[in-house]
Amino acid sequence: MSQISHGHNNEPATIPDGDSLHAPSPFLPFELITEILYRVPVKFLIQFKCVCKSWKTLISNPEFAKKHFSTFHHHHHLLLSINDALNNLIVKLYSFPSIFETPPPISTQVSYPLNTQSCFAFMVGSCDGMLCFAGSLNTALLWNPTIRVFKRLPPLEKYTIFGFGFDQCSDSYKVVAILCSLSSSDGGSAYVTEVKIHNLGTDSWRRIQEYPFGIPSGLSAKFVSGTLNWLASTHKLSSYAIVSLDLGKESCQELLQPDYGEVNVLSFSLGVLKNCLSIIVHYEEGFSDVWLMNDYGKKESWTKFLCLPFLGFPHVLPYGKVIYIYDDKEVLLEFNSELAIYNFRNETFNFPEVPDFYGWPEPQIYVESLISPCS
C-alpha cells in the first residue's frame, strides 16, 4: 500500500492499490433478496420485474405470488362498479382512509377488459386480489386488475347466482354456479336447482350433489371460512334458509340462524364483516340489527354486533349491506343505493360524496395481489 503526505502535520495517509479499486460490489444472497421482496407492495414488484431476468422470473412465479400474498400486510380498498347506458362497466378503486377521512374520496379508475363487447356484467366477489364477474351471456370472468390479467370461464346454459372462493384442502380457487330452472312433470311444474363447480386451471364445469334447499336468492354467494353462503327460499316461499357450501367437501348444509327474539323479521341479507359471516336483519318496527357468526357453523356463536337506527319509512329497507368497519368506531353501509358511514360510538351518520358515480354501484372489498387467474 502506498503512502502520501497529507495535512500540515505530515501525517501519512494511504491510497488503495490497483486491486482494491476493483473490489467486488456488496453481495446479498438470492434467498435474502427473495425474503425482502415478499414484503414489498405489489405496485413496486411489477416495476421490479425490469431489474433483471432473475427478478422477473421470481416475481412471475405463481408460488412467489402466493407466498407474497400470505406474507405481505395488505391494505384494503373499496371497489365500486356500475354499468353505464352502453353496458360498459365502470370500475373505480378507493383507499379506505379517503372514504372515511377525505372529502371527496380519491379514486383510481381501472379498465374492465370486456367493455368493447357491450356485455352487461356485475361483480360476484373478490378473493386474494382476483375479482369474479358474471356476464349477461351466462359466463363468468376472473380478473386481477392490478396485474391486468383475466380469464373467461366456459359458458353455461343458464345460471342463478355465482360464488367465488379458495379451497385450502385442494389449494385451488373455485367458482360455483347455482343454476335454477323450471321443470315440467305429470304433477305440474317445479323448480330444479343444481350446483356446478369450476376449478381454476381447468376448462370445464362439473356437477356436484343434488341441491336440497329450495330456490336460491340474490346475485352472489358470500365467501367466508372456506365456504360459500347464500339465501334460499323454502318451497313455500314463506321463509329463507342460509345455505352453506363447503368448498373442500363440495357438499351443502343449512346454517341455523340467530334467535331474533320477539320481533317481526321483515327481511335480511348476508355479508362478510370482520372475517365472519354476517346478517343484517330488517324488522317491521323499522330498525335493523347486524349479527356476526364468530365461530363459523355454530349457532351459539351468533352475536348481535350492531343496532342500526330507523331512518326512513315503515316497510322500507334503507340498509342494503354492511361493507366495512373502520378504526373500530365507524361502519360503511349501503343506504338507499348510496354509501353511508355510521359512527356507532356517537351514533351519527355521514354520507360521503362519490364523484361521477350515479345509480346503484356494487361495492366490494379488494386487496392487491400478484395472483393470476391464468396460473
For the segment 276-314, what is each residue's pLDDT rounded down to a tens digit?
999 998 888 778 899 999 999 999 999 999 998 887 666
Examine the pLDDT at 103 and tell me if it is beyond 80: no
For residue 32, what are the domain limits?
15-66
Question: Alpha-carbon distance 40 to 65, whole Å?
Answer: 12
Q: pLDDT per residue over 185-231, tens digit each? A: 666 667 778 899 999 989 899 998 777 777 888 888 999 999 999 99
Q: pLDDT per residue over 166-192, tens digit each? A: 999 999 999 999 887 777 666 666 777
Q: Does 204 lie in the same domain as 227?
A: yes
Which of 132-153 are b and which e, b meaning 16 or more Cβ less than 10 Å from the residue's Cβ? bbbbeeebbbbbbbbbebbbbb
Q: Does 233 lie in the same domain as 185?
A: yes
| Residue 3: inside a domain | no
| Residue 8: inside a domain | no
Q: Does 123 lie in the same domain as 29?
A: no
| Residue 242: inside a domain | yes
Which pLDDT score is estimated for 357?
A: 63
Q: Does 137 lie in the same domain as 273?
A: no
21 pLDDT band, cuts 50/70/90, is low
Q: Does 165 lie in the same domain as 236?
A: yes
Instruction: Give the closest residue to 369 by CA, choosing from 65, 78, 82.
Output: 65
Q: Does 210 lie in the same domain as 99?
A: yes
Q: Does 62 lie in the same domain as 92?
A: no
pTM of the model: 0.85
